[in-house]
């Protein structure tokens, strides 16, 4: 670029000029950067020119890529001060209105979010003069995209407008609930609960309930299932005595809907529904409904319901909780333990342990323990894993010892599973198990597994095993480490396989801090230094990296006397990488 001659005092102009020009650059990334700095541009232009020039330009810029439009929609939500404050905030409506009609859902949603935000900055008068007409225009737009956007705006303007306008808004919402396109009905159904919350109770009963009933029996599955969500908010708003007549028949119908997707939604929202309808209806209606969902013919529904078992039981009214669980829920749970579908079993396994705290020691031993034991032997590793990962709940109630005899074979089997992801998952539970089972049990049964993982053929497993050792040492202490694992780790430094020799280095890196200065300097350091003569370059540069890491733990005499000469030698290695890492270690440890 030529110099900006004579640009003193105007040196701020140039960068802004670039930003403005880049609003229409061919490179999307540059346009995006420019849009993200829209506030800088607006600030430079001043409020007047922002309103009269920039905003009109942006209003027509809806041809751009989604990511640019998304950024624009977001920016405009924070633009009030830049157009001159709340007095002028309505200037932002045209660009957001056009963004609210684009086909890309994320952009529309962001535009609606920004519109909701700036609606709060409108004065009550401006809201009726500018904002509400926009909502009406969107609500009666030709394209479904504008009508769906309108659905999200009713609830923000309703509380702040006159009664006449309120009546109009309710009418618009009613119309959209029976729109011919399923997309709009879905949008309306998903905002039904939110809209109900801002309505006066009488209108909830007279307007919302008929709409809710209609949407809940829509011909499209995708609309009906959204009505379930609305059911939660609506039920929360109504007084208990009205629930039965206004909501329950619709909810019962949804729980038995022909479409599994609707039943799935009921199962998925069960805890929320339970809280919304209160204890009496839960006892009479929801318990049988829950039983049916647990026995549903579609596995997806059973799995969703199984996921809710613990939460549902927890939220049952205290006076009858135990009876209800024992007589109604537990029989279904017992069946699910041997379900044909593994997703169902694994969903159950992830929550079933939580029942023990609710049912107490005796029931757990008598009724739940047998189920845990069956699940610990399940053919699907996921199920076993989910049981093991939730052991802490049982531990609190009956102690883990009750389980240890079955636990061990299950752990061993998972530890040797053919799928490395399964092995990885069980490794992650090792520190937890070790803590609960105690050091003796661990040394006797599990220690060898932990060492075997160090030589696994998958790197991710070896890496996790290294990290696992560190956590074990943190739990059991340095002395335990010195006696049990350090000798084994150091022994691997003579392994013919260089990958195993590197594992030694990785372990030392991970353990040094937990083991402390003495063990590190006395036992580990000599091995590391010896390995600097390894014939494999990868091992040598890992020696350098390892020394850099453990340097701060080693006492300073050893650092100067032993580490420094080795690193200096490695810094003259013929391998480039070895040299590089040695030099890096020297400079980090300040040995130069």
269 token code pair: 């929202």
DSSP 514-544: HHHHHHIIIIIHHHHHHHTT-SSHHHHHHHH
381 token code pair: 């590793």
Which of the 8 DSSP states describes residue 131?
Answer: I
Stretch that binds another protein, among 14-22, 325-333, 502-510, 555-563 (CB under 8 A): 14-22
Which of the 8 DSSP states describes residue 91?
Answer: G
Closest to another protein by CB, 183 vs 529, is 183
DSSP 222-242: HHHHHHHHHHHHHHHHS-HHH
Does 60 help bind another protein (rule: CB under 8 A)? yes
Determine the length of the chain. Answer: 592
Which one among 102, 209, 246, 426 touches another protein, defined by CB under 8 A? 102
User: HSE on the CB side for 373, CA within 13 Å?
Assistant: 14
Which one among 84, 86, 94, 182 touches another protein, defined by CB under 8 A? 182
Query: Rule CB under 8 A: which of 228-247 touch another protein?
Result: none
Stretch that binds another protein, among 9-17, 456-464, 470-478, 562-570 (CB under 8 A): 9-17
Stretch that binds another protein, among 45-53, 390-398, 451-459, 578-586 (CB under 8 A): 45-53
Q: Which residues contact 248 (CB under 8 A, 6 or more apart)?
A: 277, 281, 285
Which one among 29, 48, 49, 284 touches another protein, defined by CB under 8 A? 49
**Site string (393-432) toward another protein, x via CB under 8 A:** ----------------------------------------
**DSSP helix/strand/coil, 121:** coil
Number of residues that bind another protein (CB under 8 A): 52
Cβ 19 to another protein shortest distance, Å? 9
Is there a contact between 217 and 224 (Cβ–Cβ < 8 Å)?
yes
Which of the 8 DSSP states describes residue 184?
Answer: H
Closest to another protein by CB, 65 vs 396, is 65
User: HSE on the CB side for 182, CA within 13 Å?
Assistant: 11
**Site string (16-35) toward another protein, x via CB under 8 A:** xxx-xx-xx-----------
Q: What is the largest CA-CA distance in the chain?
A: 90
Which one among 171, 181, 249, 338 touches another protein, defined by CB under 8 A? 181
527 token code pair: 């091995």
**Site string (194-233) toward another protein, x via CB under 8 A:** -------------------------xxxx-----------
* Element spanning 553, H or E: none
Which one among 34, 146, 375, 436 touches another protein, defined by CB under 8 A? 146
Query: How far apart, in whole angstroms, are the C-alpha atoms of residue 267 and residue 278?
Result: 17
**Site string (276-315) toward another protein, x via CB under 8 A:** ---------------------xxxx---------------
356 token code pair: 């023990």
Does 44 help bind another protein (rule: CB under 8 A)? yes
**DSSP helix/strand/coil, 296:** coil
Q: Which residues contact 574 (CB under 8 A, 6 or more apart)?
A: none
Report the interface residues with another protein, using CB under 8 A: 1-7, 10, 13-14, 16-18, 20-21, 23-24, 44-45, 49, 53-54, 56-57, 60-61, 63, 101-103, 105, 143-146, 181-183, 186, 219-222, 257-261, 297-300
């Amino acid at each position: 670029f030529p110099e900006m001659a004579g640009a003193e005092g105007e040196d701020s102009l140039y960068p802004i000029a670039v930003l403005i020009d880049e609003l229409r650059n061919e490179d999307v990334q540059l346009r995006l950067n420019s849009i993200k700095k829209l506030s800088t541009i607006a600030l430079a232009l001043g409020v007047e020119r922002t309103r009269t020039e920039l905003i009109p330009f942006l209003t027509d810029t809806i041809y751009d890529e989604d990511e640019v439009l998304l950024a624009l929609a977001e920016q405009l939500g924070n633009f009030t001060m830049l157009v001159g404050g709340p007095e002028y905030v309505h200037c932002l409506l045209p660009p957001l209105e056009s963004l609210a009609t684009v086909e890309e859902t994320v952009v529309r949603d962001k535009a609606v979010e920004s519109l909701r935000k700036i609606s709060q900055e409108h004065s009550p008068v401006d809201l009726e003069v500018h904002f509400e007409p926009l909502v009406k225009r969107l609500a009666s737009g030709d394209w479904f995209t504008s009508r769906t956007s309108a659905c999200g705006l009713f609830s923000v303007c309703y509380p702040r407008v006159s009664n006449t306008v309120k009546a109009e808004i309710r009418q618009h919402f009613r119309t959209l609930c029976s729109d011919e396109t399923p997309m709009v009905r879905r949008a309306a159904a998903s905002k039904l609960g939110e809209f109900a919350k801002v309505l006066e109770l009488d209108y909830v009963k007279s307007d919302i309930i008929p709409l809710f009933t209609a949407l809940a029996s829509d011909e499209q599955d995708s609309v009906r299932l959204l009505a379930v969500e609305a059911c939660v908010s609506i039920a929360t708003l109504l007084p208990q005595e009205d629930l039965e007549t206004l909501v329950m028949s619709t909810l019962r119908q949804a729980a038995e809907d022909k479409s599994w997707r609707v039943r799935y939604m009921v199962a998925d929202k069960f805890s929320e529904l339970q809280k919304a309808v209160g204890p009496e209806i839960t006892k009479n209606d929801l318990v049988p409904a829950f039983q049916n969902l647990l026995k549903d013919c579609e596995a997806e529904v059973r799995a969703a319901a199984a996921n809710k078992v613990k939460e549902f039981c927890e939220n049952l009214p205290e006076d009858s909780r135990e009876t209800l669980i024992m007589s109604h829920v537990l029989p279904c749970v017992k069946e699910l333990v041997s379900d044909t579908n593994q997703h169902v079993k694994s969903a159950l396994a992830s929550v079933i342990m939580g029942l023990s705290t609710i049912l107490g020691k005796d029931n757990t031993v008598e009724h739940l323990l047998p189920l845990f034991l069956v699940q610990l032997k399940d053919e699907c590793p996921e199920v076993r894993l989910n049981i093991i990962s939730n052991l802490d709940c049982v531990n609190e109630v009956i102690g883990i010892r009750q389980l240890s005899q079955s636990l061990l074979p299950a752990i061993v089997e998972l530890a040797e599973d053919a799928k490395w992801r399964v092995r990885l998952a069980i490794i992650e539970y090792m520190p937890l198990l070790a803590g609960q089972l105690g050091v003796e049990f661990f040394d006797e049964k599990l220690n060898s597994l932990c060492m075997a993982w160090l030589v696994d053929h998958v790197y991710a497993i070896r890496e996790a095993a290294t990290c696992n050792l560190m956590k074990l040492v943190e739990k059991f202490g340095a002395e335990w480490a010195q006696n049990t694992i350090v000798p084994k780790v150091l022994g691997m430094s003579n392994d013919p396989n260089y990958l195993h020799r590197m594992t030694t280095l990785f372990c030392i890196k991970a353990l040094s801090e937990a083991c402390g200065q003495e063990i590190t300097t006395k036992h580990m350091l000599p091995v590391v230094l010896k390995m600097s003569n390894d014939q494999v370059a990868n091992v040598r540069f890992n020696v350098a990296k390892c020394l850099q890491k453990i340097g701060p733990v080693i006492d300073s005499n050893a650092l100067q006397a032993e580490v420094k000469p080795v690193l200096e030698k490695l810094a003259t290695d013929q391998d480039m990488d070895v040299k590089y890492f040695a030099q890096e270690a020297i400079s980090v440890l300040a040995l130069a």
